[in-house]
């Protein structure tokens, strides 16, 4: 079949309503995250804590029935942050701050961050100054995670965090509590890994958009509820038929990304995202806590030090590059979309060597710079040209 023939089939097939319904709960949780948190708080009497970075050890929070809710933007132009944060900081961190200034997270009892990049730390600092909460915590997570001193340092910092949470909640966090927090988090991670394994199939039983709804919603919803929904999905997913052509198998790599409109657009014009590396994807859930020696705080620290690294922490040895290449090969990606939030320094430095590595290994790349103020539609022509290039290469 010619490429034009393949393209016409790819572009014309759309999933049926029955197919979409399976992931509706994740989609609803994602879109109504604030309603969910308010209802959870009313239903359980527990506290809700907003966090700015996925290096926050959520195990500690689940140990005392605190709901961790990731602070994300709205993907709408903001007009309230200029007095508080530099305009040349990334649009994601400015959007996150805008959500607080506009009162959309008014249900939070506390906020915290684990040190990652300067931009998102400034969003946290401005939030702390202008939208005060009963509890605010800065966790000084080491950037040089490969240093032999990183482990004892982080163990000490996590213990300080535990002490602060105990004081805030008014209850002692025991080893039994920590084991329960670890169990809740690790079960959810394991279940999402199982879903991702199904995406290796020649005809994956879920789209990249559905996978995004699944992972991002886990950052807002009680993991126990989320895991129950994952178990239900996994009972049905292996035999599911999506009713759409897979098209080009793509990987997406880059900065924070929950741009559902972009994912939907790419998958509509002839592709399927089968794997990813970003902090609203695999980097969030990829590895578990290995509590073998009995010291639970050390085991938690080790998990976060060894998780797939953010570019701000991936030095001196570049561990990200072989990891991403391995994912691309294992999930049979025919191309990679490399995205960067505008002004994101860590990813701006990360993308050139990553692009070189992928292309040297026969995986074409498309680089796109994101800004919440720029409509997604402008990327469609570039995406279509990239898919056409991949399709033509497949013919030879």
**Cα–Cα nearest to 188, from 230, 159, 140, 139:** 230
Residue 360 has what pLDDT? 97
Task: Give pLDDT, residue 259.
Answer: 87
**Do 268 and 31 meet the contact criterion of CB atoms below 8 Å apart?**
no
pLDDT score of 391: 80
What pLDDT score was predicted for residue 21? 81
Q: Taking the CA atoms of 107, 112, 116 and 122 in sequence, report the sign of the dihedral they define.
A: positive
pLDDT tens over the chain, length 396 residues: 333 443 433 333 344 344 458 899 999 999 999 999 999 999 999 999 999 999 999 999 999 999 999 999 887 777 788 888 888 888 888 899 999 999 999 999 999 999 988 888 999 999 999 998 899 999 999 999 999 999 999 999 999 999 999 999 999 999 999 999 999 999 999 999 999 999 999 999 999 999 999 999 999 999 999 999 999 999 999 999 888 899 999 999 988 888 898 999 999 999 999 999 998 999 999 999 998 778 999 999 999 999 999 999 998 899 999 999 999 999 999 999 999 888 888 888 899 999 999 999 999 999 998 876 666 778 999 999 999 999 855 544
Residue 18: per-residue pLDDT: 42
Expressed in angstroms, the distance from the first to the final Cα of the chain is 12
Among 120, 185, 130, which residue's Cα sits nearest to residue 139?
A: 120
**Predicted pLDDT at 5:** 41
DSSP states of 103-151: TTTTT-SEEEEES--HHHHHHHHHHHHHS--SEEEEE---S-TTSTTHH
- The domains found in the chain, sorted by start residue, are 3-394 (3.40.50.11900)
The whole-number pLDDT of residue 375 equals 67
Token digits of residue 303: 């998990």
Residues 6+ apart with CB under 8 A from 273: 207, 208, 209, 211, 212, 250, 251, 252, 263, 266, 267, 337
């Amino acid at each position: 079949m010619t490429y034009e023939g393949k393209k016409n089939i790819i572009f014309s097939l759309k999933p049926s309503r029955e197919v979409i319904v399976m992931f509706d709960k994740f989609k609803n949780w994602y879109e109504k995250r604030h309603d969910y948190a308010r209802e959870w708080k009313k239903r359980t009497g527990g506290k809700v804590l907003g966090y700015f970075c996925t290096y926050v050890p959520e195990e500690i929070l689940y140990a005392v029935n605190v709901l961790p809710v990731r602070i994300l933007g709205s993907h709408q132009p903001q007009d309230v942050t200029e007095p508080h944060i530099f305009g040349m900081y990334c649009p994601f961190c400015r959007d996150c701050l805008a959500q607080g200034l506009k009162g959309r997270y008014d249900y939070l009892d506390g906020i915290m961050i684990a040190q990652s990049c300067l931009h998102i730390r400034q969003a946290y600092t401005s939030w702390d100054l202008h939208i005060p909460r009963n509890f605010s915590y800065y966790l000084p997570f080491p950037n040089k995670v490969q240093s032999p001193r990183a482990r004892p340092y982080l163990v000490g910092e996590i213990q300080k965090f535990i002490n602060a949470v105990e004081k805030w909640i008014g209850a002692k966090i025991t080893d039994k509590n920590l084991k329960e927090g670890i169990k809740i988090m690790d079960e959810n991670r394991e279940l999402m890994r199982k879903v991702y394994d199904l995406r290796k199939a020649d005809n994956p039983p879920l789209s990249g958009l559905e996978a995004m709804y699944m992972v991002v919603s886990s950052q807002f919803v009680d993991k126990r509820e989320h895991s129950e929904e994952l178990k239900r999905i996994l009972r049905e997913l292996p035999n599911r038929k999506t009713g759409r052509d897979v098209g080009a198998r793509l990987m997406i790599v880059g900065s924070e990304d929950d741009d559902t409109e972009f994912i939907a657009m790419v998958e509509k014009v002839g592709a399927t995202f089968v794997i990813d590396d970003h902090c609203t994807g695999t980097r969030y859930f990829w590895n578990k806590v290995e509590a073998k020696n009995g010291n639970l705080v050390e085991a938690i620290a080790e998990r976060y030090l060894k998780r797939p690294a953010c570019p701000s922490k991936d030095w001196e040895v570049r561990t990200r590059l072989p990891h991403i290449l391995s994912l691309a090969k294992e999930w049979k990606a025919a191309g990679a979309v490399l995205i960067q939030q505008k002004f994101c320094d860590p990813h701006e430095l990360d993308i050139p060597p990553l692009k070189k590595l992928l292309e040297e290994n026969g995986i074409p790349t498309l680089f796109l710079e994101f800004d919440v103020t720029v409509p997604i539609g402008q990327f469609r022509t570039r995406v279509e040209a990239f898919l056409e290039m991949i399709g033509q290469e497949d013919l030879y």
